[in-house]
Amino acid sequence: MAVPMNEPSFSTGFLAWQFSQAMAGRLEKELRTLDLTLAQHNALQHVRHEPGTSSAAAARRAGITAQSMGAAINGLAERGLMERRPHPTNRRVLCLYITDDGRRMAERSARIVHRMNDEVLAVLSPEERATTHDVLRRLVEHVNPGVLPPPSD
Q: Please give the pLDDT value at position 94.
A: 87
What is the SS3 string spanning 32-50?
A: HHHCCCHHHHHHHHHHHHC
Domains along the chain? Answer: 34-114 (1.10.10.10)
Residue 108, φ and ψ in degrees, nearest 5: -65, -45
Q: 37 φ, ψ to 5°?
A: -95, 170
Alpha-carbon gap, residue 67 to 137, rounded angstroms: 26
Over residues 23-35, the pLDDT tens digits come to: 999 999 999 999 9
Model confidence at 8, in pLDDT bands (50, 70, 90)? low
Q: What is the pTM of this model?
A: 0.84
Tell me how many degrees the CA angle 56-60-87 measures, rounded to the nearest 5. 25
Q: Which of 76, 54, 75 is nearest to 66 (CA)?
A: 54
Contact 82, 73 (CB under 8 A): yes
Nearby residues of 79 by Cβ (< 8 Å), 6 or more positions away: 101
Tell me what the mean pLDDT of segment 55-82 comes to: 91
Count how many residues are written for the chain: 153
